[in-house]
Amino acid sequence: MTAKPVPVPTPETQPFWDGCAEGVLRIQRCADCGRPYFYPRPVCPACGSRNVEWFTASGRATLYSYVINHRPAPGFEDEGPHAIAVVELAEGPRMMTSIVGVPATPETLQLDMPLQVRFERRGDISLPVFGPLEPPGPPGPGEAR
Amino acid sequence: MTGVIIAGAAETDRIGRLPDHSTLQLHIEGALNAVADAGLALRDIDGIATVASPGPVQVAHALGITPGWIDGTGVGGTSFLLHVRHAAAAIRAGYARTVLITHGESGRSRVGAAPFRLAASSPPGQFEAPYGTFGPTTTFTIPVLRYMKEYGLTHEQLAYVAVAQRRWAAKNPRAAFRDPITVEDVLASRMVAYPFHLLECCLVTDGGGALVVTSAERAAEFPEPAVHILGTGESSETPMISQMADFTESGAFRLAGRAAFAEAGIGPSDVDHLMIYDAFAHVPIYGLEALGFTGKGEAGPFIADGNTEPGGSLPLNTNGGGLSYTHTGMYGMFAIQEGVRQLRGEAAAQAGDPQISVILGNGGMFATAAVLVLGRHPR
């Protein structure tokens, strides 16, 4: 069976994928106009400045839109119907992703539901995917309530 | 107006499933038919435009044309509308006199067709393909749930787009699908990518067509009535659907439409006939709103109320569209052909006596757009 596609980083996207390998969502913003943006590139799409910097995003997002694909791409045959989604990061930029941890049904996938980034191993790459933002669990020992 | 006309227009002899035709052969057949329609010979052609592959060099060489002007703009299914715009500019500038624009695509049979490849290092290869995108059904479709939430478009209204267009197709012997369908039929058809069912997705066919474009000063020289190119526009928005600025509207549709309407000096109320590239059922909805035919959120009910089907006030996609007529992959050429036929009064499902026809072409997944305002008379 064909393997799922594995992204091949380029020099300007390598810091993003390095961040994913470290378990953080590292994206860019303009050091002049302050606007965060995605996908990685060495110029601010809002003002044209080359003075751009990397920062670690919160990993929080909301579900902006999606489809539930019933005709799987090569490598996805075992998935069954699965969500191909676009999420809006808390910082503003949007990215395509998979929604994991919940069944891929219209009932469970509600637009604007809060999500949190997770990472899945794919070849040599850690791929950012999103799952429901877990409600805070019971306090651990010694944790203030 | 541009002072430029479409003097010849034709499709391949047949469309649909043509395993006996290569991609190049479809270009050649469409080109020969269009040149004959214009009453010209190949030696009269001095400009060539088409997409790769096979591209303008291959098509010109195959036909024995030595061009003095070449346009290989390839920005998806709307490319042929851009070719018309670019040809109009070239003719006005004196760079070309008679331009041939060709389309041929073995979309279904894949004979002599280029393989589809996406580099894993390209932006979509890195940031979309890893999530299971696999062509237009998994990408072009993604915005609509956001539109449905924001504007209340219902599944039934989305399905009705296919129903309305099938009513036009029923009148067209060349349409692939002609049997009447209901909203229930659409919603009962196989799920392709929720919320899109099979009947809300375009066909995949083989076929081609071509246009001959030249100066309006020569309008009386041709056997068919000239179709005047009154206004044109083009734009692009995003190479990746995930980066579309607002999932409820197409900026490229709006900008291309604004430029074309301004050049033609018209508004929506002047338009008698409309073609909107319909790879999926939501695209005509986005198109009607971007061009100002309805307000935001109103296009779904507008179609469901019957306004765009036979007998309605705004005949839309009168060949049956990509949903019912044909869709080779780059459908724009067929939308232009139907606009020409309607203005000549020779369409299979003739929508009265239109004076102005507007064609909105889409490229990629809301990636690019172009609009042509065509008229029976110069303005």
Radius of gyration of chain A (CA): 17
- Give the mean model confidence (pLDDT) for residues B11-38: 98
Q: Decide if A86 and B142 are in contact by the 8 Å CB cutoff.
A: yes
Please indicate, yes or no, if residue A129 is contained in any of the structural domains.
no
Q: Given this model, what pLDDT does residue A139 score?
A: 55
How far apart are alpha carbons A56 and A95 in whole angstroms? 15
Beta strand segments in chain B, E = 4-11, 47-49, 69-71, 98-106, 191-194, 196-197, 206-215, 227-236, 273-276, 356-363, 368-375
A103 and A76 within one domain: yes
Please indicate, yes or no, if residue A28 is contained in any of the structural domains.
yes
How far apart are alpha carbons B146 and A88 in whole angstroms? 12
Which are the contacts of B254, defined by CB distance < 8 A and separation ≥ 6?
Answer: B290, B291
A46 and A31 within one domain: yes
Please report the sign of the dihedral spanned by the C-alpha atoms of residue A40, residue A46, residue A51, residue A54. negative
How far apart are alpha carbons B152 and B167 in whole angstroms? 25
How far apart are alpha carbons A76 and A3 in whole angstroms? 8
The single residue listed with the structure tokens 């369908």 is: B181
Task: Count Cβ atoms below 10 Å from residue B94 Cβ, excluding itself.
Answer: 8
CATH tag for B4-112+203-375 (out of 3.30.530.20, 3.30.70.270, 3.40.50.800, 3.40.47.10) = 3.40.47.10
Please indicate, yes or no, if residue A30 is contained in any of the structural domains.
yes
* pLDDT bucket at A1, cuts 50 / 70 / 90: low
- Interface residues of A toward B, Cβ cutoff 8 Å, are 4-10, 13, 39, 64-76, 79, 81-82, 84-86, 94-98, 106, 111, 122, 125, 127, 129
A94 and A52 within one domain: no
A83 and A69 within one domain: yes
A68 and A35 within one domain: no
Contact A70, A81 (CB under 8 A): yes
A39 and A72 within one domain: no
Please indicate, yes or no, if residue A128 is contained in any of the structural domains.
no
Q: Given this model, what pLDDT does residue A145 score?
A: 40
A76 and A47 within one domain: no
Instruction: Select from B81, B152, B120 the least CA-distant residue to B363.
Output: B81
pLDDT digit string, tens, across residues A36-80:
999 999 999 999 999 999 999 999 999 999 999 999 999 999 989
Please indicate, yes or no, if residue A135 is contained in any of the structural domains.
no
A104 and A85 within one domain: yes
Write down the H helix ranges in chain A: 14-22
Q: Given this model, what pLDDT does residue B220 score?
A: 96
Q: Decide if B130 and A122 are in contact by the 8 Å CB cutoff.
A: yes
Q: Decide if A66 and B193 are in contact by the 8 Å CB cutoff.
A: no
Q: Given this model, what pLDDT does residue B167 score?
A: 98
Task: Count Cβ atoms below 10 Å from residue B152 Cβ, excluding itself.
Answer: 11
Radius of gyration of chain B (CA): 19
- Give the mean model confidence (pLDDT) for residues B319-342: 98
Q: Decide if B242 and A71 are in contact by the 8 Å CB cutoff.
A: no
Contacts of B138 in chain A (CB under 8 A): 67, 69, 71, 73, 84
- Give the mean model confidence (pLDDT) for residues B338-361: 98
In chain A, the residue whose alpha carbon lies closest to the alpha carbon of B240 is A96
Instruction: Select from B12, B316, B329 the least CA-distant residue to B202.
Output: B329
The ipTM value here is 0.96
CA distance A141 to chain B (A): 39
Contact B224, B168 (CB under 8 A): no
A64 and A44 within one domain: no
Q: Decide if B132 and A79 are in contact by the 8 Å CB cutoff.
A: yes
- Give the mean model confidence (pLDDT) for residues B117-141: 96
Q: Given this model, what pLDDT does residue A141 score?
A: 53
Q: At B319, give phi and psi (nearest 5°).
A: -85, -10
Q: Decide if A39 and B241 are in contact by the 8 Å CB cutoff.
A: no
Q: At B218, give phi and psi (nearest 5°).
A: -100, 10
Across the interface, of A5, A67, A98, the residue whose CB is closest to B193 is A67
- Give the mean model confidence (pLDDT) for residues B350-364: 98
Q: What kind and span of H or E run contains B86?
A: helix B79-93
Q: What are the extents of the domains in chain B? A: 4-112+203-375
Please indicate, yes or no, if residue A138 is contained in any of the structural domains.
no
* pLDDT bucket at A137, cuts 50 / 70 / 90: low
Work out whether strand A114-122 and strand B4-11 pair parallel, antiparallel, or are unpaired: unpaired
Q: Decide if B130 and A127 are in contact by the 8 Å CB cutoff.
A: yes
CATH number at residue A23: 2.20.28
Q: Decide if B134 and A73 are in contact by the 8 Å CB cutoff.
A: yes
How many pairs of residues across A and B have Cβ atoms under 8 Å apart? 117
DSSP 8-state symbol, B18:
-
Q: Decide if B142 and A4 are in contact by the 8 Å CB cutoff.
A: no
Portion of chain B with pLDDT greater than 70, in percent: 100
How far apart are alpha carbons B379 and B372 in whole angstroms? 14
Cis peptide before B301 (omega within 30 of 0): no
Does A25 have pLDDT greater than 70? Answer: yes
Does B117 have pLDDT greater than 90? Answer: no
Please indicate, yes or no, if residue A50 is contained in any of the structural domains.
yes
Q: Which of A4, A86, A88, A113 to mutate to test the interface with B (most CBs of B within 10 A)?
A: A86
Q: Which of A124-138, B319-333, B362-376 has the lowest mean pLDDT?
A: A124-138
Across the interface, of A5, A74, A127, the residue whose CB is closest to B120 is A5
A100 and A62 within one domain: yes
pLDDT digit string, tens, across residues B237-294:
999 999 999 999 999 999 999 999 999 999 999 999 999 999 999 999 999 999 999 9
A67 and A47 within one domain: no
Contact B121, B238 (CB under 8 A): no
* pLDDT bucket at B379, cuts 50 / 70 / 90: confident
How far apart are alpha carbons B300 and B121 in whole angstroms? 38
Across the interface, of B121, B127, B134, the residue whose CB is closest to A95 is B127
How far apart are alpha carbons A17 and B54 in whole angstroms? 37
Q: Is the pTM of this model over 0.80?
A: yes
Q: Given this model, what pLDDT does residue B164 score?
A: 98
A49 and A62 within one domain: no
Contacts of A96 in chain B (CB under 8 A): 127-128, 131, 133, 240-242
How far apart are alpha carbons B360 and B113 in whole angstroms? 26
- The total number of structural domains that make up chain A: 2
Could you list the residue range(s) of the whole structural domain that residue A33 is in? 9-57
